[in-house]
């Protein structure tokens, strides 16, 4: 078996890069040998194409139904990223039955941010090594652009860290979703196109069609969703206030909390990561936590992990001391 292809970028490397468009675990065991900051240009073509495809909105025009679809898909999928990928799969902040766990993982996959195991493994690594040399996305160590997007495009970070997500990797249905992480996004895109074409025939007064729904509902919505999510790794380790001395650069940032449905209370989160709640006090609006509470009321999610009273009191003491200075 040739084990050298990744160093020189030979034909086997090219083939593996292409295979990973469809099978994200292809040749994964070889990736660990790659230099930290090496970018896989061929593999990231779909990511760049997604951005370019946003220009399609100029060609297809707009309609209220297409714009609303883009907005609703942004909100639903932002919840899927924060409420499901982050708080559930990374931090076990609540419990689910196995069928709902699978459905939630499918919903998370619609965000086009790779599979649940990939997402969770890298994020757990971030919490263990926040803003140290080991951190895979630290603006202090590697600069804004690397922490925002570069780390995702690097070959090294492409593999799923199965070693860090053993608790979920034991479920074959989650391993399937993670390995073929392109499947759910393709189905979503096809569904949007089909819906647009159906509406063009059945409800022509709505003024939409397949290409328009695809451009707004998939390409634009997904790209904006990606960059909004990424601000937590980049800007939320740069701009905002630090209530807790967590030893890293995590910040609380109200604007980012609005943009990401509650993730902007990132300094709180680094203080106590396993809580289902990231806005610790009533004035720290955390929409995702509100949705999780509603889902708990109807029995879909269970055992939301609270913030311990001692940590809430610690935060209140710090705020009071700042107020009296």
Binding site for Zn ion (CB under 5 A): 250
Helix axes 172-179, 98-109, angle to 10 degrees: 10
User: Between residues 17 and 250, which has the closer beta carbon with respect to Zn ion?
Assistant: 250
User: Between residues 113 and 250, which has the closer beta carbon with respect to Zn ion?
Assistant: 250
Read off the tokens for 307: 């913030």
CB neighbour class for 311 (10 Å; exposed up to 12, middle 13-18, buried from 19): middle
Minimum distance of Zn ion from residue 126's CB (angstroms): 6
On whether the CB atoms of residues 216 and 72 are closer than 8 A, the answer is: no
Q: Which of 87, 266, 111 is nearest to 177 (CA)?
A: 111
Read off the tokens for 239: 């701009």
Helices (H), 214-308: 221-230, 254-259, 266-271, 287-297
Q: How many CB atoms lie within 10 A of CB 222?
A: 24
User: Between residues 69 and 147, which has the closer beta carbon with respect to Zn ion?
Assistant: 147
User: Between residues 154 and 250, which has the closer beta carbon with respect to Zn ion?
Assistant: 250
Buried b (16+ CB within 10 A) or exposed e, 8-23: eeeebbeebbeebeee
User: Between residues 69 and 267, which has the closer beta carbon with respect to Zn ion?
Assistant: 267
Helices (H), 129-276: 139-142, 144-145, 151-153, 166-169, 172-179, 183-202, 210-213, 221-230, 254-259, 266-271
Minimum distance of Zn ion from residue 272's CB (angstroms): 10
On whether the CB atoms of residues 237 and 140 are closer than 8 A, the answer is: yes
User: Between residues 43 and 87, which has the closer beta carbon with respect to Zn ion?
Assistant: 87
User: Between residues 24 and 147, which has the closer beta carbon with respect to Zn ion?
Assistant: 147
CA angle 133, 135, 141 (to 5 degrees): 55
């Amino acid at each position: 078996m040739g084990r050298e292809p990744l160093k020189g970028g030979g034909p086997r490397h090219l083939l593996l890069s292409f295979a990973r468009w469809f099978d994200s675990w292809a040749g994964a065991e070889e990736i660990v040998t790659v230099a930290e900051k090496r970018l896989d240009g061929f593999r990231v073509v779909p990511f760049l194409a997604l951005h370019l495809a946003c220009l399609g909105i100029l060609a297809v025009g707009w309609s209220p139904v297409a714009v609303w679809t883009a907005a609703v898909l942004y909100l639903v999928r932002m919840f899927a990223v924060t409420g499901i990928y982050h708080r559930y799969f990374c931090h076990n902040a609540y419990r689910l039955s196995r069928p709902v766990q699978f459905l939630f993982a499918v919903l998370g996959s619609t965000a086009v941010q790779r599979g649940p195991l990939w997402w969770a493994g890298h994020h757990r690594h971030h919490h263990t090594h926040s803003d140290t040399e080991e951190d895979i996305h630290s603006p202090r160590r590697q600069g804004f652009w690397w922490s925002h997007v570069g780390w995702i495009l690097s070959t090294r970070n492409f593999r799923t860290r199965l070693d860090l997500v053993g608790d979920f990797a034991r479920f074959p249905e989650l391993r399937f979703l993670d390995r073929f992480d392109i499947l759910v996004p393709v189905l979503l895109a096809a569904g949007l196109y089909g819906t647009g074409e159906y509406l063009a025939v059945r409800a022509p007064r709505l003024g939409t069609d397949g290409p328009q729904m695809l451009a707004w509902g998939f390409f634009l919505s997904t790209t904006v969703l990606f960059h909004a999510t990424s601000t937590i790794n980049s800007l939320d380790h740069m701009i905002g206030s630090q209530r807790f001395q967590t030893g890293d650069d995590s910040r609380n940032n109200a604007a980012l909390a609005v943009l990401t449905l509650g993730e902007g209370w990132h300094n709180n989160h680094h203080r106590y990561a396993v809580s289902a709640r990231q806005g610790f006090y009533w004035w720290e609006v955390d929409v995702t936590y509100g949705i999780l509470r509603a889902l708990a009321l109807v029995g879909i999610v269970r055992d939301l992990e609270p913030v311990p009273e001692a940590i809430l009191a610690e935060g209140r003491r710090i705020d009071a001391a700042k107020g009296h200075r």
